[in-house]
Amino acid sequence: MTRTVQPLKSLHPLTPDDRLRHVPYAFRHTSATLGWNGLRVEYNTRQPASDFVHPPLECLMLVLTGEIFPERADHRCDDARYSGDGLPHAVNLLPPGVESRWRWRNTGDLTDSTHYQLSPALVAKVAEQAFDLDPARFHFPVRYYDQSSPEVIATLTALRRELVTGGPGGRLCAESLANVLVVQLIRQMSNRQGSGGGIREAGGRLPRHALRAVEEYIHAHLDQNISLADLADVAHLSEFHFARLFKQTTGLPPYQFVIHQRVERAKRLIAARQLSLVQIAIAVGFSDQSQLNRHFKRLVGVTPRRFA
């Protein structure tokens, strides 16, 4: 059965929260409560055939199709039209401030997709930090079922995995991936004015005192949901350049470095034999014991129980 939804009157572009009232199905997974700055990700494996008009959004929106895809899709937005079979593992891109219509029917009357919303503030910040680019000098055209950028698709897939599995990288990982995603979108999917397109350099490595300050901050807040902005502030750098320099200096992206530190602290707590594995997992910043087990075995080679 196809669900038809008429648009509600809206005087302003919709926020990510407001948008949910216009979508004719619920999302099982959402980043709304995870504190991800500048980014909202929503996913559900069971979305019925639908026909609805989507009011303008305040954010840049992308939809990544999954394994199950529409056998017939009809979409429109401004002058862009699409009518035909949907494609798996493809990107639909909708710029802010435009109304769109989404209609599809599919085998089994169900399909799956992941929805991403990037705030204008995040897009503008990365454009300036990474490219020294005025946001007024580029825009994103409407795209339907675009498979031209494997890099964008891989980053979107990684964000979905982080959302669904509740990865231990959490907020820090998601925000790092969001920065990478915006860079990829500006490079590969925007209409950019001017010849400037290279990433602005910011030196090769973090200064020793900045790296020491960041490490001290991580160790002091290891049990908390550390954000990319927190670490960049400590280093007195933009988020984009901090993430690049940190990886060039340590060999690891910030969220992987944090996971390594959590496992190292877990090793010391296990050796002390004063806390249960559940307590240790929480004390070092993992959401549960299963995350501790998975990453401990990956980095140490044995499970925490065997290590003990």
Same domain, 174 and 278: no
Q: Is residue 201 part of a domain?
A: no
Q: Is residue 202 part of a domain?
A: no
Same domain, 268 and 237: no
pLDDT score, position 296: 94
pLDDT digit string (tens) for 36-86? 999 999 998 777 888 888 889 999 999 999 887 777 888 888 778 888 888
Separation between Cα atoms, residue 151 and residue 130, nearest integer Å? 17
pLDDT digit string (tens) for 233-257? 999 999 989 999 999 999 999 999 9
pLDDT score, position 187: 92
Listed residue (94, 62, 59, 61) closest to 78, CA to CA:
94
pLDDT surpassing 70 at residue 225: yes
* Token pair of 259 as six digits: 């996971």
Same domain, 88 and 223: no
pLDDT surpassing 70 at residue 11: no
* Token pair of 63 as six digits: 């939809």
Same domain, 147 and 288: no
pLDDT score, position 132: 87
Name the more confident of 232 and 87: 232
pLDDT score, position 223: 92
pLDDT surpassing 60 at residue 202: no
Separation between Cα atoms, residue 290 and residue 195, nearest integer Å? 49
Same domain, 78 and 222: no
pLDDT surpassing 60 at residue 4: no
Q: Is residue 198 part of a domain?
A: no
Q: Is residue 264 part of a domain?
A: yes
Same domain, 156 and 240: no
Same domain, 134 and 269: no
User: Which CATH number characterizes residue 266's domain?
Assistant: 1.10.10.60
Instruction: Output the pTM of the full model.
Output: 0.85
pLDDT score, position 79: 79
Q: Is residue 220 part of a domain?
A: yes
Same domain, 26 and 165: yes
pLDDT digit string (tens) for 253-307? 999 999 999 999 999 999 999 999 999 999 999 988 998 998 999 999 999 999 9
Q: Kindly indicate the confidence band of residue 212, based on its pLDDT and cuts at 50, 70 and 90.
A: very high
Same domain, 167 and 222: no
Name the more confident of 231 and 165: 231
pLDDT surpassing 50 at residue 29: yes
What residues make up the domain containing 150? Answer: 3-192
Q: Kindly indicate the confidence band of residue 209, based on its pLDDT and cuts at 50, 70 and 90.
A: very high
Q: Is residue 203 part of a domain?
A: no
Q: Kindly indicate the confidence band of residue 3, based on its pLDDT and cuts at 50, 70 and 90.
A: very low
pLDDT surpassing 60 at residue 196: no
pLDDT surpassing 50 at residue 6: no
If one counts the domains in the chain, the total is 3
**DSSP states of 39-67:** EEEEEEEEEE-EEEEE--BSSEEEEEE-S
Same domain, 113 and 213: no
pLDDT score, position 7: 43
Residue 7 host element (H or E): none
pLDDT score, position 305: 93
Q: Is residue 109 part of a domain?
A: yes
pLDDT digit string (tens) for 103-158? 888 766 667 889 999 999 999 999 998 888 888 888 999 999 999 999 999 999 99
Same domain, 11 and 95: yes
Last residue of a domain, one of 165, 192, 219: 192
User: Which CATH number characterizes residue 70's domain?
Assistant: 2.60.120.10
Q: Is residue 128 part of a domain?
A: yes
Long-range residue pairs from 217-225, CB within 8 A, at least 24 positions apart, any chain: 218/257, 218/258, 218/261, 219/261, 222/258, 222/261, 222/262, 222/265, 222/284, 222/285, 223/282, 223/283, 223/284, 223/285, 224/285, 225/35, 225/170, 225/171, 225/172, 225/285
Task: Give the CA radius of gyration of the chain.
Answer: 21
Same domain, 231 and 271: no
